[in-house]
Structure 1
């Protein structure tokens, strides 16, 4: 999950700041918004309409490839960890004391194991929570998966540079195998890491392909046809399992991968955003506070639900969902205002309540944006 500072790179030859990609920023802002709406309204088709997690991994893969090419493996890993972990630690500084105050030491369902608190420092596995504080950790699997992709990316990049097509399809092939009887998936922390790496791995590699412009060499109609095949295969696979078709893990992976293939193949300038400076500013702000929004939205929404129930609104009704949106959105904004400055420190910017992010510029029509900016 990369934020504004990642796309705004300094060219080592000219020492100038290269322009950011409006399209990349907008995709990420839409992805974060969709996640928030899904957790507020709980409408299943939203995840089909815009598979946010696959998009976010794809964009992160592109930004990581740009960093690997520009800075090398060790500086890239250090930079990604430095930008990702402090917002998680800010959440931990609130969540852990609250869970302890509410009796985590005596929780029989999710007992406290002090050594597991290390996963709040470096989430190589999902950070633990008490039964009372589960809302703090429900969404943190993404941070855990992202950290593993960052740590593995130097290896992935080495393989991709030598065998790009095989490296692209390997994770998707692995996901199908892990879901088959041929390769039983462990039901533990190792299994969680294996599945998320396989399921979202091709989206990450497509980010590599976008940065290297490998995707640009494939005709749009070919990408559209491949995405269509993946989507149709996902639908029929999921339908054959019963229930909502894209709720099946393989169906979701096939659909999400096809969506990212098309999304990363496109390179619109989105120059029309220049006519709406407030909207452009909002997109920039979402990118500057991406991790903070993501890690705080579920705890805030659970708090919102508790407040609405206390006010007498029946849970899981349309009235509750609309009220959650109207109340939860400003409460989430307040939480972001309170702790979002941590992302400024992580990105080595001057901390501010409202992020002081310059509006990105689009590449001139007919000209490709610089690789690091357009990745």
Structure 2
């Protein structure tokens, strides 16, 4: 799990370790989430009281979450975890998680930009950073305890300056390499896995900062704006554009790979995709995807060299697939009957998407390290080697650990969103009733204090 410079290993999830992630929610025609999340959509906000002076306000229906986008985000998270565990090259072809995550985030960003851009960007950054800070507190502390410090790379001054990227990730935060693990619990070089998903946080931040300009360009020149990232990806791929250093080329590679998906999400929110004839997207999108697949298959596509290692192929395949998914967009304000049983699971994944994305790589490493200890038991390796070699028990154990991370670290997302912290926000009626009772008690207490005062 040692990703390249632009951290493609996170793409498979690319949210495969990538997760987010990545991310953020969107809305389809007629149904929009009322929250302003980073990688996920939160529960709809209550309808404000109607103003008697504005009778039309009372007739306005309350916005609803788009459950189709919730489903896409949940699938992206699951696929990211599975990909980062197994490394199966075909998984990014089945479902391009990172492209989906960026498209959903772009969709939500375009909707939010109906408000002042500075206000929207400030809110996005506020929601993004606290979960990252919590990861940094745990991870950087562990690295320092194991000997990582200013002299690690021979440039003490730069080490301290680069640590600021753990606070505001305008570039990739530094991390230690080659650290020893904890025997039987945490594998060696664990900091690389911990830092793996951070490329997505950095890319997301830059997309947010650039969104006001991208939206203006999209409204003025839709086709040019949509295709510009793909053209930039081709320029990098064929050597027409080269840049010195690592940080700037890495950031531009991410933009060229998934920028078209972000802009697609914005175009969907703006209604641009709905204004073109219905047959255009089903006719054009498969061509982009097919070109990306053709390029990958002709450049040794396979395990260890999948779409994450081929930015241009990833860009084309993700663009074509995401375009089709947005074109289908059924805009569910309620779950179809067959999906209702999954409501709580999908709601939980959406409510804790940032936490899952940031911590899943570490959970995979812990689960795999602990599972490998069973090889030391004679009965297991002699009679159950097939079970020890199977990824499915490790996957199940990984999700148990992810669940513990939701409990221990998920509250940071609530604080970032200025919500009351919840331990397990799966949208269950039991939790909602408890929250309502607690809110009623708090209001009663405030009224009593005011009366005493």
TM bin (shorter chain): 0.7 to 0.9
Q: 2:97 aligns with which of 39, 52, 57?
A: 52
1:29 matched residue in structure 2: 74
Aligned equivalents of 2:321, 2:125: Cα separation in 1: 27
Alignment of 1:1-375 (within 5 A): 1-2=23-24, 5-6=35-36, 8=44, 13=57, 17-69=62-114, 71-105=115-149, 108=152, 113-131=159-177, 132=179, 133-244=191-302, 246=307, 247-270=309-332, 271-273=334-336, 276-312=339-375, 319=389, 321-355=391-425, 357=427
Please give the per-residue CA displacement for 1:200-257, whole angstroms capped at 9, x wherever unaligned: 1110110111001111123343212211111121122223323337452211111011
Equivalent residue pairs, number: 358
Q: Specify which structure has the bigger relative contact order, considering alpha-carbon pairs within 8 angstroms and separated by 6 or more residues.
A: 1
Tell me if the contact between 2:150 and 2:160 (Cα under 8 Å) persists in the aligned partners: no
- C-alpha distance 255-288 of structure 1, shift in aligned 2 (>3 A): same
206-215 or 2-11, larger mean C-alpha shift = 2-11
- C-alpha distance 39-18 of structure 1, shift in aligned 2 (>3 A): same
2:52 matched residue in structure 1: none
Aligned equivalents of 2:366, 2:155: Cα separation in 1: 23
103-112 or 166-175, larger mean C-alpha shift = 103-112
2:437 matched residue in structure 1: none
- C-alpha distance 259-94 of structure 1, shift in aligned 2 (>3 A): same
Q: Structure 1 length as normaliser, TM-score?
A: 0.88
- C-alpha distance 337-198 of structure 1, shift in aligned 2 (>3 A): same
Aligned equivalents of 1:76, 1:306: Cα separation in 2: 42
Aligned equivalents of 2:387, 2:361: Cα separation in 1: 18
Aligned-pair CA distance for 1:11 = 7.8
Please give the per-residue CA displacement for 1:116-156, whole angstroms capped at 9, x wherever unaligned: 11111011111111113111101110010000000111111
Please give the per-residue CA displacement for 1:303-355, whole angstroms capped at 9, x wherever unaligned: 22222233327999972522321211101111111110111111121101011
Aligned-pair CA distance for 1:272 = 4.6
Aligned equivalents of 1:19, 1:109: Cα separation in 2: 50
- C-alpha distance 226-338 of structure 1, shift in aligned 2 (>3 A): same
Q: Secondary structure at the match of 1:312?
A: helix
Please give the per-residue CA displacement for 1:131-189, whole angstroms capped at 9, x wherever unaligned: 13111101110010000000111111121122222111111111111222211144410
Structure 2: 5+ residue runs without aligned partners?
1-22, 26-32, 49-56, 180-190, 430-453
Aligned-pair CA distance for 1:294 = 0.1
Tell me if the contact between 1:179 and 1:185 (Cα under 8 Å) persists in the aligned partners: no
Q: CA RMSD in A?
A: 2.6
Aligned-pair CA distance for 1:109 = 6.6
Aligned equivalents of 1:320, 1:91: Cα separation in 2: 30
